[in-house]
Amino acid sequence: MSAHPAPPTRGRLRDRTVAVVGAGLAGLRAASALAAAGARVVVVEAGDRVGGKAVLDSRDGFSLDRTLQLVGYEDASLLRWARECSLSESLLPLRPVASAQLHRGRIVPCDARSLGEIARTPGVRLRDRFRLLRLPRLMDRYAPLLDPVHPERAAALDFRSVRDWADLYLGASVREHFVAPRAAAETLGDPHELSRVAFLLHWQQSRRGAGRLGIAPSGLGELADGVAATLEVRTGLRARQLKELDGGRLALECSGPEGTGADAVLEVDALVLTTPAAEAGRIAASAVTPAERDFLAAVRFGPRVALAVATERPLTGLPQLVRIPHVEGEASGCGIEAMLVEPGVPGGRAPEGSGLVTAVASQRFAELRANDPDEQVEKALLSALERLLPRVATTRRFQRLHRDPVGVPRFEVGAYNALARFQRVQQDRRALGRRLYFAGDYLSGPRFEDAVASGARAAEAVVQDLTVGQPA
């Protein structure tokens, strides 16, 4: 089982041109790997910024995130990428993040580095603590199928939801206060619908790094900007459609802002699409099979709503991730799924002596408020945040709301089986000479690490296919 794709060999793609559509982390990772392999790479981005969900928004020295910018200490794809691009200072050293959880209206420390700590999670009943002894044995049994770079290999496990699996093996209180909060904070998924594979992949990675999380000193947006500066990135250029040419080459038709005359047709040897699934299906409509078209059309995304709040003073001594179990959120009327509370430090994401809070709304809240104006959504989240952290009301400087209607890929029961079928079709098309590739979080997982690994996987496939028959 390959834990992470090997970086393409430098220089193998001389005289080859590859286009990458989308300048999020998956697209930038694919592009940087292909450029390192010697290809001429053109990155096409419809927006005016690079980074996707990690885009760097700043104001008065504060980095205002669009989601929780958490990095696991075992996020090998992300950390290796930073080192390869000589940008590791953008990520390292990670600032350790402590874990906490809301319980009966109070925020209490809540680590999960051992079975003993999991058993002491507030809300876990005594009779369910003994059932936790099953967890290591279960994970050892599942381990051969759990590959974060190839998540479709776990399709055989994709027939139970997180709720059903946890209730069956671990007990309802473990599910409510340990399994579901961790799954939801990462995926914003409903435990009733979320495939257990999503949690198992997440927990496997957490076990490797003892559950340690950190935040990059300057945020992941700085890494994205640094990588983009080394590439040919054309922002404001929207990919319209793909056409297949003689000899296996591809033509990508693009349009610039109306009235600018910036339209372009890129003739390339290979194309990597890293846009959301529906957009990728639209661009590649003329080149995909009915099975691929059906898969891309069926991929489900949920909305992501995040509120970043800058405070005059720090609200905690160390960075802290606070998870809010659904049972706690429903009892308190809180629409927040998780929040990252961090004090400012010199050269960090908030000025020294100040604080920063990033709160991510629950899926239920985001869906119910989908048609509400920003002002109402912001007011509701700010009110909930002030109930959880009363000092926010007296120290708040400003806040910024971010809404993304397709911000979170949903890995519900059956998603990994569908992904396995899609990947088999990809192998068939590659064998027949098609040089069209897909990457993105909907093919891997919702974390930044997943997106980066997906981009690296696509780049590795391009290098393999374009160097067939060439001398090593």
Contacts of 306 (CB under 8 A, 6+ apart): 65, 66, 67, 68, 358, 359, 360, 361, 401, 402
4-13, 88-97, 222-231 — which is least confidently predicted?
A: 4-13
Beta bridge partners, 309, equal 357, 399
pLDDT in tens, 335-351: 899 999 999 999 889 99
Give the whole-angstrom CA distance, residue 370 versus residue 324: 21
Amino acid letter, residue 253:
E
46 shares its domain with 61: no
Q: What strand order describes the sheet that includes 264-268?
A: 238-244, 250-255, 264-268
- Other beta carbons within 10 angstroms of residue 370's beta carbon come to 12
416 in any annotated domain: no
243 shares its domain with 278: yes
Numbers of helices and strands, H then E, in the chain: 18, 19
417 in any annotated domain: no
Give the whole-angstrom CA distance, residue 460 versus residue 242: 22
346 in any annotated domain: yes
- Other beta carbons within 10 angstroms of residue 229's beta carbon come to 11
Residue 60: burial class (beta carbons within 10 Å; 0-12, 13-18, 19+): exposed
pLDDT in tens, 417-433: 999 999 999 999 999 99
In percent, how much of the chain has pLDDT > 70? Answer: 94
Domain boundary among 152, 185, 208: 208
Domain boundary among 208, 233, 248: 208
User: Per-residue pLDDT for 91 more than 90?
Assistant: no
Q: What is the mean pLDDT of residues 205-223?
A: 81
254 shares its domain with 197: no
329 in any annotated domain: yes
24 shares its domain with 67: no
The CATH number given to whatever domain includes residue 381 is: 3.90.660
311 shares its domain with 398: yes
156 shares its domain with 129: yes
**The predicted structure's pLDDT at residue 87:** 86
**The predicted structure's pLDDT at residue 49:** 93
**The predicted structure's pLDDT at residue 9:** 58
Q: What are the φ and ψ backbone dihedral angles of 91, each rounded to 5 degrees?
A: -115, -30
What is the C-alpha R_g of the chain?
22
236 in any annotated domain: yes
pLDDT tier at 6, thresholds 50, 70, 90: low
Give the whole-angstrom CA distance, residue 94 versus residue 71: 8
**The predicted structure's pLDDT at residue 471:** 46
- Secondary structure (3-state) at 414: coil
Q: What is the mean pLDDT of residues 109-129?
A: 90
328 shares its domain with 383: yes
Amino acid letter, residue 287:
A
On the question of a cis peptide bond just before residue 93, with omega within 30 degrees of 0, the verdict is yes
pLDDT in tens, 310-319: 999 999 999 9
Contacts of 471 (CB under 8 A, 6+ apart): none
User: Per-residue pLDDT for 392 more than 50?
Assistant: yes
44 shares its domain with 59: no
Give the whole-angstrom CA distance, residue 194 versus residue 450: 17
Q: What's the domain count of the chain? A: 3
197 in any annotated domain: yes
130 in any annotated domain: yes
393 shares its domain with 344: yes
The CATH number given to whatever domain includes residue 452 is: 3.50.50.60
- Other beta carbons within 10 angstroms of residue 376's beta carbon come to 10
136-140, 166-170, 252-256, 328-332 — which is least confidently predicted?
A: 328-332
135 shares its domain with 231: no
**The predicted structure's pLDDT at residue 206:** 78
Q: What are the φ and ψ backbone dihedral angles of 223, each rounded to 5 degrees?
A: -65, -45
The CATH number given to whatever domain includes residue 133 is: 1.10.405
Report which of residues 381 and 327 the model is more confident about: 381
Whole-prediction pTM value? Answer: 0.93
405 in any annotated domain: yes
Tokens of 54: 């990690």
Helices (H), 229-323: 277-283, 290-298
188 shares its domain with 117: yes
Contacts of 237 (CB under 8 A, 6+ apart): 44, 45, 46, 254, 255, 256, 262, 264
Give the whole-angstrom CA distance, residue 318 versus residue 308: 18
367 shares its domain with 444: no
**The predicted structure's pLDDT at residue 426:** 97
Q: What is the extent of the structural domain holding 159? A: 112-208
In percent, how much of the chain has pLDDT > 90? Answer: 74
* CA distances from residue 218 to 49, 51, 88, 91 in whole angstroms, order as listed: 17, 14, 11, 7
Give the whole-angstrom CA distance, residue 282 versus residue 61: 39
* CA distances from residue 186 to 220, 267, 286, 323 in whole angstroms, order as listed: 17, 38, 35, 10
Amino acid letter, residue 92:
L
pLDDT in tens, 215-262: 988 889 989 999 999 999 999 999 999 999 988 899 999 998 876 667
